[in-house]
């Protein structure tokens, strides 16, 4: 009785081949599940919001005129909205959009400490000059990926507790941020 090395070698090759085939089948199944069930960031998967109710509530409650765009094309899609007045001396309004190129741009407002608000909302971007938008001077902030146009406005309301900082910020380029800033309308409701 002898050992037939040829049979063992043949079985070894079959085992490796079977393992490779099994791995290929598993990879195909995983790729199919990924393609069918996971979102891929298309425009259709973006959740849009109707901000009209929150805007009305913020304009009634805020101690300053609340900014919202008017006249933007339908390619600008609102994606987030919040108003937080839990601290009346730091009431904050946020309205986020995706611009026509799917870059993020948001309107941020607060009557709180301007330096802290700007640092927080611009992700510690640095002031880099100014830009005139519709005859108004806006300060430019640049942080690489994030940029912002910022404007401080005096408010004559005692409830505002100082100036109001309005900014348009995000990953959108400055021309898109300026377009959004140009579309802003400031109002309060009673």
Please state the domain extents for the chain. Answer: 1-38, 47-187
Q: What is the predicted pLDDT for the residue at 1?
A: 55
* Cβ neighbours around 111 below 10 Å, total: 26
Please report the pLDDT score of residue 41 as a whole number. 52
**Which DSSP state fits 172?**
S
Asked if residue 154 has pLDDT above 80, the reply is: yes
Closest by Cα among 47, 45, 95 to 72: 95
Pairwise pLDDT comparison (113 vs 17), residue with the higher score: 113
Tell me the per-residue pLDDT of 35-75, one tens digit each, with 9 for 90 and over: 666 655 555 567 999 999 999 999 999 999 999 999 999 99
pLDDT for 145: 85
What is this structure's pTM?
0.74
Residue 101 has a pLDDT of 95
Note the pLDDT of residue 12: 61
CB atoms under 10 Å from CB of 72, counted, come to 17
Quickly state the pLDDT bin for 111 (edges 50, 70, 90): very high
Residue 82 phi/psi, 5-degree rounding, is -150, 150
Topology of the domain comprising 47-187: Phosphorylase Kinase; domain 1 (3.30.200)
Confidence check: pLDDT of 189 > 90: no
- Mean of the per-residue pLDDT values of the chain: 87
User: Taking 60 as the threshold, does the pLDDT of residue 16 lie above it?
Assistant: yes
104-110 β-sheet, strand order: 77-84, 92-98, 104-110, 164-170, 146-153, 136-143, 126-133
Is residue 156 within 8 Å of 107, Cβ to Cβ?
no
Q: Average the pLDDT over 160-167 and give the result.
A: 83
pLDDT in tens, 19-30: 888 888 888 878
Cα–Cα dist 67/104, whole Å: 17
């Amino acid at each position: 009785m002898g050992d037939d090395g040829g049979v063992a070698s043949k079985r070894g090759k079959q085992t490796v081949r079977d393992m490779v085939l099994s791995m290929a089948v598993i990879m195909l199944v995983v790729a199919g599940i990924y393609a069918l069930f996971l979102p891929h960031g298309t425009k259709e998967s973006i959740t849009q919001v109707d901000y009209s109710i929150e805007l009305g509530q913020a304009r009634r409650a805020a101690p300053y005129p609340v900014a919202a765009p008017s006249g933007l094309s339908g390619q600008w899609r609102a994606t987030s909205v919040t108003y937080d007045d839990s601290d009346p001396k730091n009431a904050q309004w946020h309205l986020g959009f995706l611009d026509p190129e799917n870059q993020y741009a948001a309107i941020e407002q607060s009557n709180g400490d301007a330096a802290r608000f700007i640092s927080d909302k611009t992700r510690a971007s640095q002031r880099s000059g100014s830009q005139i938008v519709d005859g108004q001077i806006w300060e430019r902030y640049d942080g690489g990926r994030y940029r912002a146009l910022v404007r401080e406005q005096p408010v004559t309301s005692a409830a505002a507790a100082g100036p109001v900082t309005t900014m348009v910020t995000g990953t959108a380029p400055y021309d898109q941020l300026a377009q959004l800033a140009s579309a802003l309308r400031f109002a309060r409701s009673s």
